[in-house]
Amino acid sequence: MSLLAELNDLKVYFYDQRDKRFIRAVENVGFSINEGTVLGVVGESGCGKTVTALSMMGLLESEPGIIDGQFFFKPSEEDAELIKQSLSRGVRKQNDYKKDTLFNLFFGLDRYVSFEENPFTIIKDSEKWLRRNNRIMEHIRGKNISMIFQNPEQSLNPFIPVGGQLTRTIKRFNREANSYEIKEKAIKLLRSVRLYRPEIVMSMYAGSLSIGMAQRVTIAIALCSHPRLLIADEPTTGLDTTNIYKMIELLEVLMTEMNLTLMLISHNIRIVSTIASNILVMYAGTVVEIGSKNYVMKTKKGPKHPYTEALVSSVPSDSDIKRGKKLRVIPGTVPNNKRKMDCCPFLERCPYAEGKIRQKCESACPELARVASQHYIRCYLFYS
């Protein structure tokens, strides 16, 4: 099991043109994914899960702002040389962008993104960097990292039938294949995502598919390039409960069939915990807890961030339902991300912040502390 991707200290800020200030979207996010494992990313809406995924793919374009951090990724061998070429363009020290076989896809970020208050400079700088980033990501998107989005119906082109989009994508990755082979492969892919009568689905448009079918089609399109890492951004939104678990099962089956690594983003920690080996809990744009599933999901004993505890208990388990336990909600909302992070972001909703420890929580934001091997928690309760 070798390291596939590693994200260090990701910072994403958007610039608010009207208020003339930066809005924090993601800060101090870092994790690593081993090949063949599943990383589950959990958190409420507005906690920066999608922004993290989009910035990994280099798809954050709509807004000017700041992106900072390091993203190491191990590409497939045939693409490694191309990525090396486009990364090392205009670089003096040759090995800065590399760590073993992993390439830093965010390399050169600090040269382009400035922190100046003048909005015009920021737009220009981030534009320049995005153009460079697009050149690098050409070899990454599709071939190495693929992504499926949270609204499957909208992420299919409404003007081209499903089969057309699928064959178009397959054709780009197998240039020599003839049209018959491509069609065969498309049908095979649609079968592998458990779609019945793929020949009929091929001629349908996105508008006439149900959400579950559309999600399966988007998975098929994302998989036709045999990516190494698949980022699934809330693949279960809009599905009913039985279909949610079917979809998760499908992802699990596809992982073993296609030798995939999965990054599963969801707001439901129980769904994620069914297949994830590592779980990352995000809150207000930061990581509050990261660790292997057994540590994070352990309900009774062991250290646990209050937010994770709240997340787990807000979705009832089977035994909870049998015992007739009442549903729990997390009081309050995610804090305003325009504010500077000068206290613990979970302070206002935390049931444990009382007495002496509350003074600590109010004074500064806690660091991510190691409580066990590969288990980190950002909370003063577990400072030793």
Partner 1 sequence: MTRFLKLFIKELLSMFLLIIGVTALLFLLFNLMPGSFPGKGLGGAEYLKLLRRLFTFQFGTSIVSGRDINTIVFPAFRNTLILTIGSIFLSILISVPIGIFSAYRGFESYSWPFVIFSYIMSSIPVFYLGYLVIYAVSRYTGYLPIYYPYGSERGNPLISYVLPVLVLGFGNESISEIVRLIANELKRVMNTDYVVASKARGESVLRSSINEGILIPLISIIFSKIPFLIGGAVIVEHVFNWPGMGRLAFQSTLNRDLPVLIVIAFLAVLCVRSGMLLKELILYYFRPGEK
- List interacting residues with partner 1 (CB under 8 A): 57, 59, 61-62, 120, 123, 138, 141-143, 146-149, 151, 154-161, 165, 168-169, 172, 205-207, 218, 221-222, 225
When the beta carbons of 190 and 379 are compared against partner 1, the nearer one is 190
- Toward partner 1, which CB reaches closer, 62 or 94? 62
Token digits for 302?
């062991």
Smallest gap from Cβ 235 to partner 1, in A, equals 13
CB of 168 to partner 1, least distance (A): 7
45 vs 294, which CB is nearer to partner 1? Answer: 45
Tell me the three state secondary structure of residue 215.
helix
- For every residue of 164-207, DSSP letters joined together read HHHHHHHHHH-SS--HHHHHHHHHHHHHHTT-S-HHHHHT--GG
The least distance separating partner 1 from the CB of residue 332, rounded to whole angstroms, comes to 30
Q: How many residues does the chain have?
A: 384
Shortest distance in whole angstroms from residue 47 CB to partner 1: 20
**Nearest approach, Cβ of residue 225 and partner 1 (Å):** 7
CA distance 77 to 372: 35
* Residue with smaller CB distance to partner 1, 159 or 196: 159
Cβ-based nearer residue to partner 1, 70 or 165? 165
Alpha helices, DSSP H, located in the chain? 49-57, 77-87, 109-112, 119-137, 162-173, 179-192, 198-202, 211-223, 241-258, 269-275, 293-297, 306-314, 318-322, 355-363
Distance of alpha carbon 85 from alpha carbon 57, whole angstroms: 19
Least gap, CB of 320 to partner 1 (angstroms) = 36
Per DSSP, the three-state class of 323 is coil
How many other C-beta atoms lie within 10 A of the C-beta of residue 113?
Answer: 21
> Judging by beta carbons within 10 Å of its beta carbon (0-12, 13-18, 19+), is residue 298 exposed, middle or buried?
middle
CB of 159 to partner 1, least distance (A): 4
How is residue 84 written in tokens? Answer: 């090396």
What is 250-306 written as a DSSP string?
Answer: HHHHHHHHHT-EEEEEES-HHHHHHH-SEEEEEETTEEEEEEEHHHHH--SSS---H
Q: Provide, rounded to whole angstroms, the least separation between the CB of residue 137 and partner 1.
A: 8
Nearer to partner 1, 16 or 138 (CB): 138
CB nearer partner 1, residue 261 or residue 273:
261
Residue 200 has a CB neighbour count (10 Å cut-off) of: 10
Provide the β-strand partners of residue 66: 13
Instruction: Please identify, using beta-carbon distances, which residue of 138 and 320 lies nearer to partner 1.
Output: 138
Tell me, rounded to whole angstroms, the distance of Cα 302 from its chain centroid: 27
Closest to partner 1 by CB, 56 vs 102, is 56
- Rounded-to-integer distance, Cα 314 and Cα 351, Å: 14
